[in-house]
Amino acid sequence: MPRVTEEYRVARRREIADAALRAFRRKGFQATSMAEIISESGLSAGAIYGHYKSKADIVLDVATTVVGSRIVDLERLAAADPMPPPARIVRVLMDGMVRELGSPGIMVQLWGEAVTDPVIKKLATGVLGRLRDAYVAYISLWHQREHGVSPSTAEGIAAEQVYLFVAAAQGYILHSALMPGFDSESYLTSIEKNLPS
């Protein structure tokens, strides 16, 4: 029997995760069963369970991938010269999230589940923590480069400002998911204009 390559495993997991995201968008996270994910994927139950033990495992994989991609985006911006101001990162991260998830509403669903489901809460706090740490690192580096402050001073500034950037991103997600006719471009332009730099 031929060996399954790592590339094949990654592609198959991505196929399953994409099917799960389609089902979540259509029916909601809580209302979507593993049977519906299996049906959406067109694969056998054995193929699905060979890669994921549960719906929460699929969500963890998707969230880890999406956050990992956003951290790569931040690293790419941090390597630029000149480095874009921190307000720009909200646009970059939201564009990437929408591109990968298709709908910010999925994030709102997961936040709702995190309130009562300890497994989802642990996932959400872990993902948020990684993203917050990436924001802090970016904001700190930007202040060091652009304002010439010491690393310790820059870290202190970043620790204070990070909540504004996280809140701006979360506000984008909520508005996009809940407000009819949400003008994402106006929102992001306002963020870039008004967040500290």
How far apart are the C-alpha atoms of 122 and 43, rounded to whole Å? 29
How far apart are the C-alpha atoms of 125 and 178, rounded to whole Å? 22
DSSP single-letter state for residue 3: P
How does residue 4 score in pLDDT terms, banded at 50, 70 and 90? low
> Tell me: the pLDDT tens digits for 39-66?
999 989 998 898 989 888 888 887 778 8
Q: For residue 114, what are the contacts with CB-CB under 8 A and spacing of at least 6?
A: 120, 121, 123, 124, 125
Please tell me the predicted confidence (pLDDT) of residue 91. Answer: 92
Token pair belonging to 148: 């010439």
Q: Pick from 141, 112, 119: which is nearest to 58 by CA?
A: 119
Token pair belonging to 59: 């969500």
Q: Pick from 147, 143, 146, 138: which is nearest to 157 by CA?
A: 143
Please tell me the predicted confidence (pLDDT) of residue 114. Answer: 86
**The pLDDT of residue 10 is above 50:** yes
Determine the average pLDDT of the residues in 86-108. 86
- Listed in order, strand segments (DSSP E) in the chain are none
Whole-Å CA distances, 160 to 42, 50, 78, 135: 48, 44, 19, 11
pTM, two decimal places? 0.80
How far apart are the C-alpha atoms of 39 and 50, rounded to whole Å? 15
Q: Pick from 153, 135, 136: which is nearest to 144 by CA?
A: 153
Whether the CB-CB separation of 122 and 128 falls below 8 Å is answered with no
How far apart are the C-alpha atoms of 22 and 108, rounded to whole Å? 15
Domain 1-53, classified CATH 1.25.40.10, yes or no: no
Q: Pick from 61, 31, 172: which is nearest to 108 by CA?
A: 172
Q: Pick from 192, 190, 175: which is nearest to 107 by CA?
A: 175
Determine the average pLDDT of the residues in 165-192. 94
